[in-house]
Structure 1
Amino acid sequence: MPADPTLRFERSLFRNGVESIIACDEVGRGALAGPVAVGMVVIDQSVRRMPKGLRDSKLLPEPHREALAPLCTRWVLYSAVGLASADEIDSLGLSRCLGLAGRRALESLEAMGAPIGSSTLVLDGNWDYLNPVLDTRVDVVTRIKADRDCASVAAASVIAKVHRDRLLIDRDVVTPGYGWASNKGYASRAHFAAIDLLGPSDYHRLSWLKGDVPLEQVE
């Protein structure tokens, strides 16, 4: 079983003089349809006990994520989710759209009064996709498996996942027949069968439907 996330890494940054942390994670990266979402939360040294049962969103059943999301929102100082649409992914590519969604999340945090300029951003993975699209650079620390190990990043992943899932569930009413509520836009045999029957919708990433696309486990 995976280890529960902790605040050990975040506290090491605070000990080294970091005043506040913006934790960042993305969801929807591998989907056939719908937006890519980047969740961000802000914490400082005043944040203490994390929500019970917190883990990376991919390791949690949907009801647990739904229950945890409001707890995570109350636990952190600020939270936001930025999106980049399927059309934007088709025209700009996924890499740039990760940065675009992240920039939109940062702009939302800034509008709330979050201390963007004096914060260090902890980004899950080993690639800084954010700074290339920003007018003013931010201090980014990349960390592989941060969504698994760092409680703040796990909270960002839960908030982003629930936000994006709800968009897909709502889409099931607007554009029925694709099974959005169950597949959340990810590849499955039933999803491909629906595309064959109905054709792609305006919510699909058309550039991703060309050629062979592997089946992916729904996040």
Structure 2
Amino acid sequence: MEFEKIPTIPTADEILDRSLRRAAKNKKLKTNRDLANEDFIRSVYSSVYDKLMDSVQKFPNFDELSPFYTDIVNLLFSIDKIKHSLGAIQWAGEKVREVGGMYARQMRGAPDTNALRKQATARIASIVQQVDNDLKYLNEARNVLRKLPDIRPDEFTVVVAGYPNVGKSSFINLVSSATSEVAGYAFTTKRIIVGHHEVGRDRIQIVDTPGILDRPVEERNDIEQQALS
């Protein structure tokens, strides 16, 4: 499942710290001060750009999600808000590259490249800090989405619902194939258990959902809405 591939999304401070330390290490190897300052800025903005864009590109295309996962993500977070944060981070990456490249070009033949290096570093840091909340929001979403059950919409699905402590989980364990795993997936304080039963070449998904699903829609809690999806 694509959500499992999303890496930890670093904060603005983490991105800047790693990029600046890497650039400073390379700068020490240069003997020409002006060239060293130019290379420093190029290294910083390239590293920051790569880290920001990597955060964007590792998220799946939400327009291509199945209706099941679209409903689940919207119940847990908001696809529109996730898209907004992804767009903000992409803007920041492109802006960092634009500003960094501009300062790097200005350094050629400039009388004081130290001043330009400091200005460029401050501008880049300011841009990245503007999307710190977006980075944190995406990492929060990532931590939850990667634990979503691997449910395939094209497979026949049996839903086991009912009151707690009546043996639903035991039933799932009993009928699931020995070669299949039964895994719990956290939904706040509850969980959905997905098992599989193989019939010949076909696989049946068996889903143990929390909550009672026969009550009116307006009376269902978030857990039951997730289960209904």
TM-score under structure 2 length normalisation: 0.20
Query: Which structure: greater helix fraction?
Result: 2
Structure of higher CA gyration radius: 2
Relative CO higher for 1 or 2, CA cutoff 8 Å, sep ≥ 6?
A: 1
